[in-house]
Structure 1
């Protein structure tokens, strides 16, 4: 016991000593080079977070999510490219190491059937299929394959870490509180960007890259991205969190008190404003699609019927009301009136034109061969420069129709598990959280048709987190086993 306490004290003393040395060092270097001081300060903060992560993997799990979401902010401030993937991989490995080292001390038993569960078996088969893609003869280079596999393994590890972090319903409550607090902070920052305009360092950063500038600036107005990677990721997450808040708002007052419902209503307003400012049309569609699933399974609930009526009236007012001066409302309408939008029609033409090629290549052209990735890693490839504008189309192009079938089975089974958990659960709050997970999964599944919604860094983290919760609930937390 004494040795363990002495070890903890030693770590604390070293940590304090590090900060005592770092403060004057940063002050001195700041007087010499401002950019270098930012890098050094970020390094010190990163080292401190890494120490905490290694000591407490559950806390590190949440730190990893925050870092993944906000790492682009210091990148913009420094006006330099930061190896985001390396930073994320390093922290995730620290979380994994902490989880492995603490597993021996914790006597937690999991009933998850890792080698029998149908969804996990599909995941393993899909993983093997991706590994075999290394030998795809249609690829010109395997350099892109290594990048893709590294990102995939990162998501794979995160999914299984969720099994370890989520030990009970209290952990699930904690996760959703954390998630809504994080996305609310992002939404507030996004609304601030809309109200005051992008900050000078943000304008300078997007101006450095012509492709990023064309993505962010639309018709002379910037699409809001908060502290996240881009407007698309920001919009998708705003839609997901809006769905969760709206579902929770329908709870009985005995379950969620009136002050908490006022807070939820405030969060809904902030998230919806941020969603509109993002200019992400796919995210606009996600909102009614996700809520539609929730409404269908809760038509017997009076609060649900009231919420459905209010939501329907609001949607009709926005779509057909006499509002013609707001660019946000105009772009929102184009998401539901695609036939009047030339860019959406062009995407449909491109999809039909590439279908014969898909039929002739059952294993696809290889990962990272389509779109801008293809131009970077497989220049000269038939798919290089061809923009899929769809997660499913990218799977069909790069992995073939065999890979597309695996992706569809995997996504379907995830939603099936979530809905099945909902009908098994008895406690109302748990049921609301489970149906919100199902609604978000369904919204992302539909969004994949128009955009690579599930492939974005931020959305893939959230999707793997709620999928991990879904599997954990099925085996360990369901009351009807």
Structure 2
């Protein structure tokens, strides 16, 4: 057999693995932690090489691993430097994209004329300027926030190279909803069979995890994501998109596929209830309003609206008074205002003098727990905003807050424009689904810091990449 360069490389890889397997086995027998660490490093290096070789596959690998990292962290029994893993994976995807020179269609994107991208660029400039904010006490706090923000920008750029046609968009949405269904199913298992031992040990070990998980009505479940709040927000957005897909004609989405979607919706609804995220309960009807207003002339839309209204009335006013999940859903819409809501309102009024006297904010990572960690002694440290817009205005001033609001506005506006621009019904439903889910996420920003949470930022920046790319592809 003639030895070629390809054969030599293959034999070298086989020989390398043949040597490494017994070496790892020996090291693990002498020191388990070192052996596990080496194994993780080797597997991680292999995954990074795959991401470099195929950046489109790497894009999905990055999302999958990032979404499940909290589960691996709980299995380890201690908090890990998951940010390092995310950075390594994303940089590998970016290098692969650069080496492959991306996709030709990205040249159609007008980076310095698109309103959403301009909004993102201006916000990045604001973040850089916050380094010179005299109110900031810590360079590390600014660096951490910039690192997370740059991660989102890189993810957006890679996404603009991944979504090169509407088929790529359909592939991503199918993948995203399957991933959400897996998360919903895992949450249902947690509810029906209880948390696994390592999950119980993890939340008991860390006081902040325990405080956000245990409530009066029971346990707020989180599936394999970082916490119940971000999990509930994603469940709500997925429910909105799948309900919209159900209005498609049978020639577009077949009956068996719709049955699968209905089963997925049921799992998502249960998971949303088990998460105890009242923000998510409000997101669903408000998000669907966008879709209903754009499609009131269609019979299927009216039928879905009637079915959703009936189901909502049963939940709110049905004879279910002992189920803690249903009781928590009802408190989001009817009944007396929760004391936690009153506390948030009082906090907002109390902080108004600071807003008026600091037009450029107090600096990034100066509020809440991050403020206490990176800027101890700061006036905003330990102040719980419980509001993404409030955090933005406190940390980056009114301009920063308006730019954050602009992210959502232009994302929704472009998605709605794409809805009227694309031709096929399924693509129209996906575009209006993104618009409705993004509007719901904008609403959730009032009660959660949605745009900076890891999992929800992945969803939002993937949506941004989709709507921006389709805008220019369909215009051509």
Range class of TM-score, shorter chain:
over 0.9
Aligned-residue offset at 1:76: 1.3
Aligned-residue offset at 1:151: 0.3
Describe the superposition over 1:126-154 as per-residue Cα deviations: whole angstroms up to 9, x where unpaired: 11111000000111222100000000000
Aligned-residue offset at 1:80: 2.5
Report SS of the residue matched to 1:126: helix
User: What residue number does 1:313 align with?
Assistant: 310
Q: Please, which moves more after superposition, 148-157 or 36-45?
A: 36-45
Structure 2 unmatched runs, 5+: none
User: What residue number does 1:6 align with?
Assistant: 5
Aligned-residue offset at 1:49: 1.1
- 2:186 counterpart (176, 185, 189): 189
The 5 Å alignment of 1:15-414 reads 15-28=13-26, 31=29, 37-103=35-101, 107-108=104-105, 110-219=107-216, 221-337=218-334, 339-414=336-411
Q: How far apart in 2 are the matches of 1:15 and 1:249?
A: 49
Q: How far apart in 1 are the matches of 2:222 and 2:342?
A: 26
Quick one: structure 1 residues 312 and 23, their matched pair in 2 at CA, closer, same or farther if it must change by over 3 Å?
Answer: farther
The alignment status of 1:458 with 2:447, answered yes or no, reads no
Aligned-residue offset at 1:40: 4.0
Quick one: structure 1 residues 54 and 13, their matched pair in 2 at CA, closer, same or farther if it must change by over 3 Å?
Answer: farther
Quick one: structure 1 residues 441 and 11, their matched pair in 2 at CA, closer, same or farther if it must change by over 3 Å?
Answer: farther
The 5 Å alignment of 1:464-479 reads 464-476=461-473, 478=474
Is the Cα–Cα contact under 8 Å of residues 106 and 161 in structure 2 kept in the other structure? no
Structure 1 unmatched runs, 5+: none
Report the TM-score, using the length of structure 1 for normalisation. 0.94
Quick one: structure 1 residues 107 and 317, their matched pair in 2 at CA, closer, same or farther if it must change by over 3 Å?
Answer: closer
Q: Please, which moves more after superposition, 127-136 or 422-431?
A: 422-431
Please report the RMSD computed on the Cα atoms of aligned residues, expressed in angstroms. Answer: 2.0
Q: How far apart in 2 are the matches of 1:367 and 1:294?
A: 35
- 1:416 counterpart (401, 413, 438): 413
Aligned-residue offset at 1:270: 0.9
* Corresponding pairs, count: 475
Aligned-residue offset at 1:109: 5.6
Aligned-residue offset at 1:41: 3.7
Quick one: structure 1 residues 13 and 189, their matched pair in 2 at CA, closer, same or farther if it must change by over 3 Å?
Answer: farther
Q: How far apart in 1 are the matches of 2:56 and 2:445?
A: 30
Is the Cα–Cα contact under 8 Å of residues 217 and 325 in structure 2 kept in the other structure? no
Is the Cα–Cα contact under 8 Å of residues 235 and 275 in structure 1 kept in the other structure? yes
Is the Cα–Cα contact under 8 Å of residues 239 and 286 in structure 1 kept in the other structure? yes
Quick one: structure 1 residues 453 and 278, their matched pair in 2 at CA, closer, same or farther if it must change by over 3 Å?
Answer: same
Report the TM-score, using the length of structure 2 for normalisation. 0.95
Is the Cα–Cα contact under 8 Å of residues 339 and 345 in structure 1 kept in the other structure? no
Report SS of the residue matched to 1:450: coil
Quick one: structure 1 residues 302 and 43, their matched pair in 2 at CA, closer, same or farther if it must change by over 3 Å?
Answer: same
Is the Cα–Cα contact under 8 Å of residues 236 and 283 in structure 2 kept in the other structure? yes
Q: How far apart in 2 are the matches of 1:313 and 1:18?
A: 63
Q: How far apart in 1 are the matches of 2:19 and 2:188?
A: 38
Describe the superposition over 1:396-427 as per-residue Cα deviations: whole angstroms up to 9, x where unpaired: 11111121122222321111111111112221
Aligned-residue offset at 1:31: 4.7
Is the Cα–Cα contact under 8 Å of residues 283 and 447 in structure 1 kept in the other structure? yes
Aligned-residue offset at 1:380: 0.9
